[in-house]
Each structure stands twice: as structure tokens, then as C-alpha cells.
Amino acid sequence: MRDRPHLLLFPASLRRQSHQRRLIEHFVSVIGGACHTDVLAPEAVDLPLFNQDLEADPTVIGQVMALHERWRRADGFIVSSPEYNGHAPPFLKNTVDWISRLARIDARYAAVNPFGGKPLLLASASTGWTGGILGLRDARTIFAYLGCLVSAEEICVASADHWAAEGRFRFEPAFAAYIEGTLTTFRNQVARLAGLAVPEAESQVHA
């Protein structure tokens, strides 16, 4: 019997040293053992631009099936997405386009929506002053359309370079506490919807 929710965390940036990866790593360290975490590294998403002509390519569809299964297994998602010209990046859109398309490619997946009814928390880290919030509006629309229960809360890190030190983020106490509280609330929401126990003390994320 499971005692913890399963979260998939996706840094939606192809850059190896991106702030999105750094932010997801920070989330994992805060969550600790409170959840089973599956970090979907961008290099594991080796998909061409969505093209229906490739739907018969067994190599491409095999990769889509593997990604579909990782999203299907999760009880909830945390996506950290950069902002490109006020929108979500093509990498994020292309990934979910392929995964959601599988139901129309293979009849075995027709009734399986890996996104449907599952909580999703959006985040972003940007060197600008907006913290990537404009791009998250776009991401919110995409995931809501797919059936996710997109959290009203978002975690946006502005001036990301300022908070990065020695390959990790080090936030001031007030903002660190906000992140921890937001992750706690989200974790508990995921647990409730998955039919799992919620810790009595909700002020911290416990292992």
C-alpha cells in the first residue's frame, strides 16, 4: 500500500545549466521524502517537432509511450517553465503535444489521459523582474486544456542570477518559507486526491 504521493517534476528548458533545472532541484530538496519524486530530465525527451507524418515511426512512438507512462504513473506534476517572448517555450508545448496525441495514434491509449484530473503546480525562474509569470499564463492554458487541475498558486523567481550560488538557489528566509509552504499545500492536495493520508502538521514538508 502506498503511503506517499508520486510527483513528476519537469524542468521545461533544454539548457543544461538552466534556472528551471536549478529550481526543480531546489523543490526536490525541500520535498525530501514526503513524496516519491520523478524528475523528467529534458535530455530524456528526445522528440522531433510534432508532425503527423511521424506517427508511424516506431522509434518516435516508442519514446512517446515511455514518456506517456511516466506522466500516467504520477499523482501530480510540478512544471518549471521559462518564458520566451511572453509565452511558454516550444519544448514544453511539443512534449505535451506528442504525449496527448498518443490516444489518437494507438487505440490502446484511447481511454487513458495521463493529465486528466491531476493537480499541477507551475513555476518559473527568470533573470528578469517578472519571474517568468507571463509564460506561465500560456502554460496554464495548455495544461488546463489537457485536464489538469492547475493550482492557483505559482512560484516565480525573479532576478534568478541573484539567488544562484555554487550551482544552487539560496533564497532569503521569507521566500524560502513561501516555497516550502506552497509545496506543502500542493503535496497535501495531491495526497488527498490520490486517497493517501495527509500529515497532521501541514506547516512543513515532512519526510
Domains of the chain: 6-193 (3.40.50.360)
Q: Render pLDDT for 11-57 as a digit per residue (tens, 0 to 9).
A: 999 988 899 999 999 999 999 999 999 999 999 999 999 999 999 99
pLDDT of 206 > 80? The answer is no
Task: Round to whole Å and give the CA distance between 88 and 74.
Answer: 22
pTM: 0.93
188-191 long-range Cβ contacts below 8 angstroms, 24+ apart: 189/76, 189/119, 189/151, 190/5, 190/7, 190/35, 190/75, 190/76, 190/118, 190/119, 191/4, 191/5, 191/75
CA distance 193 to 1: 16
Whether residue 75 contacts residue 116, with contact meaning beta carbons closer than 8 Å, is answered with: no
Least confident of 84-88, 126-130, 163-167: 163-167
Using left for φ > 0, alpha for ψ between -120 and 50, and beta otherwise, residue 50 falls in beta
Could you tell me the three cell numbers for 24? 526543480
Q: CB neighbours (10 Å) of residue 85?
A: 7
What angle is formed at CA 116 by the lines to CA 113 and CA 122, rounded to 5 degrees? Answer: 120
H or E element at residue 93: helix 90-105
140: its cell numbers: 496554464
